[in-house]
Structure 1
Amino acid sequence: MGVVVRLLSALLVVRSVVQGRDADAPPRRRSDPLAGQGTGVPGARAGTPAQVPARGWWQIVRRAFKESSADNVSMLAGGVAFFGFLAIIPALIALVSLYGLVADPAQVAATIEGLSEALPESAQQLVADQIGAVVGAGTGSLTTGLVISVLAALFSASSGTQNLMAAINIAYDETESRGAVKLRAIALLLTAGAVVFVVVSIVLVAVAPVVLDALGTTGRVLGQVVRWVLLVGLVVLGLAVVYRVAPDRDAPRFRWVTPGSFLATVLWIVGSIAFSFYVDNFGSYNKTYGALAGIVVFLLWLYLTSYIVLLGAEINSEAEYQTERDTTRGEPQPMGIRGAAKADDAVDP
């Protein structure tokens, strides 16, 4: 009996010592390689978006819409649309001027007008009129005046880009800390890159059908398919670059900006077609706004586009929040020192 009592006493002592050590030990960080296992969060250990299960994506989408409301994305989209409208004409000037150095500016005008078919008729006419004015004023040669004009146009257009960057920062829960010069430089690079990107896109979209036309009817059908596949792929790529560069944080890996880019592209195409159908068949903007109808409709389309782009940023942001793995580029870092608000936190179980 005495032996049993001593054994029980020894066990109680050991238990108290272990409990004391556990109480003194710091809590295990969520960045621990084992953290997330058994937490009940679907996708907590996902290394890529594809590894997040369907239940995890349902949570991501729900949080994205909730966050879009909390971040006042509808109001942010209005600001981005307004400044985007002010940036459209300078961007078109830069685009047509640069394209005119290597090809007939009328070709880019025809291509852009063809791609704008998804817009309502009043907005199409507005775009066509502005492009016609820009093409008519082009010189087709590289002069000092042209260089100054293009640089001035890019600088003006970059103001719209800068407002988009600020809105994406909010979607990623980041606080802007970059200086005015650095911020403007990034906006200029993004704007210039967008112009070059559009030029390349126009060349690819215009050339592919011409090459495939030689195959006859099959080639023409295939040419249209290739044209739109290229266009969708290029838009997805362009949005991915914006989502990666625009926010003030350590850049996420491309895999973590792809879901929002793809979803935003699909929603943008479907939304543009639906909006065009509504305006052309049920809208009464011409009666209400008269000569301003084209501007109003185009602003509404820009608002729709801006909202969808910001929603894509919210999707990417919440996808990073779903996993505890490091989603930023470079070597994996512990949670808390990754330089990104969403990457440095994770969903509570």
Structure 2
Amino acid sequence: MQSLDQSGSNIPAEGTDGDPDSASVPIHNQTEAVTIPGAAAKSPWQLPASAWWQIVKRAFIMAGFHNLNLLAAGVAFFTFLAITPLIAATVMTYGLIGNVETVERQMQAVTEFVPSDVASVVKNQLLGVVTANAGVTGFALAIALFFAVFGGMRAANGLVAALNVINEEHETRGFLRVTMRAALLTLAGVAIAITGVVSASVFAWLQVSSTPLLGPIAERVVEVLTWIVALTLGSIGFAVIMRFAPDRTRAQWRWLMPGALLSTLLFLIVSFGFSLYVAYVSDYNATYGSLSAVVVFLMWLFLAAYGILIGALVNAEAERQTFKDSTIGPDRPMGQRGAVLADSDMLGGHSEAMAEKKRRRHARHLAQKAAREDAGQRAGGS
């Protein structure tokens, strides 16, 4: 027996040919699936190198089509507006650290690999929040935390919008659902930030305490553990955002981890590399004067957001690479999965967006050719 998906494609019923997996691949794509590397992969870790090469090429093309630089700029701007409320929410949730020396010590561990201007801005905002809320307790603390989270939701809303574009989805959720989703994502980010601060403090203490006893080996071990924890926390945080932010059927965790890990690596590389660039290459003070700290902060946010969105884009193209169902729940055929990327079966050529980009490029080429011919005719006539 055969059933029809929403597009009218024939799909063999499970068990008709002895292969239950054939039910998830439309008949008109089964031959194509054999020739596409990774088409039968049930996990991104099963994708061969040739499949990842195709994913990287499509991600490069789609970065231009989706105007990833503008998306990253938007995320950076809204994060900049939300940074003080986010810091306030983190400090309040952490327990309103009232000791200035403690805050400075915590920040030194966290901001070691970001540009000094960024660390200065964050530290000043953090100390201001601590000073302003040092005596707030009980119900007043809950109210202050509520408004801090509400203000910090700008960053989450920016990420939700950007991830909808990358996943080629349109926002259909109501205002309340979107607001609650942004609030929960903000709280999740605060929780991960707190865990990171505590972990950095613990590892800094271990490094100081163990080095006199065990020598430089202990110091190196603690440094390696610190990076492992940072990668783990960052990957978990970005995977949570990529899973719950877009308006689509949620992707399985395993399909989110490669992009989440890449986002974390790019975030760390961008932070470290940009700090070196600001310190030794560029002189923002000469160009922007008193605004240099703000400009450096915005540039760092932009580069970090771009790296994060690159990871999300790689996840998107990895989902497009396989014909298997990458969404949660029971396996469903293409056209019934509730996610554009998981329902896409255009790997034989390009996705609709990529094909549209080719059409635009071809139209521009024809227009330029016609303009040159017209110019040649005018020159010949004169």
The verdict on a shared fold, with TM-score over 0.5 as the criterion, is yes
The answer as to 2:220 corresponding to 1:216 is no
The answer as to 2:54 corresponding to 1:59 is yes
Greater mean deviation of Cα atoms: 48-57 or 194-203: 194-203
Q: Which residue is equivalent to 1:159?
A: 154
Considering only aligned residues, what root-mean-square deviation do their CA atoms show, in Å? Answer: 2.1
Identity %: 38
Matches within 5 A, 1:224-303: 224-303=223-302
Q: Which residue is equivalent to 1:124?
A: 119
How many pairs were matched up? 324
Q: State the shift of 1:141 in Å.
A: 5.5
Matches within 5 A, 1:54-133: 54-101=49-96, 106-133=101-128
Go from structure 1 to structure 2 and tell me whether the alpha carbon gap of 1:27 and 1:233 turns closer, same or farther (over 3 Å shift).
Answer: closer
Task: Give the distance between the partners of 2:66 and 2:325, measured in 1 at CA.
Answer: 24
The answer as to 2:42 corresponding to 1:44 is no
Greater mean deviation of Cα atoms: 111-120 or 236-245: 111-120
SS in 2 for 1:265: helix
Q: State the shift of 1:145 in Å.
A: 2.2
Contact residue 109 and residue 135 of structure 1 kept, 8 A: no
Task: Give the distance between the partners of 2:9 and 2:224, measured in 1 at CA.
Answer: 56
Task: Give the distance between the partners of 2:98 and 2:191, measured in 1 at CA.
Answer: 14
Q: Which residue is equivalent to 1:7?
A: none
Q: Which residue is equivalent to 1:31?
A: 24
Task: Give the distance between the partners of 1:45 and 1:255, measured in 2 at CA.
Answer: 15
Contact residue 110 and residue 200 of structure 2 kept, 8 A: no
1:181 to 176, 187, 192: 176
For structure 1, the residue ranges without an aligned partner over 5 or more in a row are: 1-25
State the AA in 2 paired with 1:216. L
Matches within 5 A, 1:305-344: 305-344=304-343
Q: State the shift of 1:209 in Å.
A: 4.4
Q: Which residue is equivalent to 1:346?
A: 345
Q: What is the TM-score when the length of structure 1 is the normalising length?
A: 0.87
Greater mean deviation of Cα atoms: 121-130 or 308-317: 121-130
Q: State the shift of 1:153 in Å.
A: 0.8
Q: What is the TM-score when the length of structure 2 is the normalising length?
A: 0.80
Q: CA deviation digits over 1:100-154, x for unaligned, max 9?
A: 3588675354223322122222222112211121222232652322221111010
1:192 to 187, 196, 200: 187
SS in 2 for 1:268: helix
Q: State the shift of 1:280 in Å.
A: 0.9
- Could you say which structure has the larger radius of gyration? 1
Q: State the shift of 1:275 in Å.
A: 1.1
Q: Which residue is equivalent to 2:14?
A: none
SS in 1 for 2:340: coil
Contact residue 81 and residue 299 of structure 1 kept, 8 A: yes
Q: Which residue is equivalent to 2:369?
A: none
Task: Give the distance between the partners of 2:107 and 2:248, measured in 1 at CA.
Answer: 34
Contact residue 39 and residue 321 of structure 2 kept, 8 A: yes
Task: Give the distance between the partners of 2:106 and 2:70, measured in 1 at CA.
Answer: 32
State the AA in 2 paired with 1:31. S
Contact residue 321 and residue 347 of structure 2 kept, 8 A: no
Task: Give the distance between the partners of 1:102 and 1:118, measured in 2 at CA.
Answer: 23
Contact residue 98 and residue 131 of structure 2 kept, 8 A: no
Go from structure 1 to structure 2 and tell me whether the alpha carbon gap of 1:250 and 1:28 turns closer, same or farther (over 3 Å shift).
Answer: same
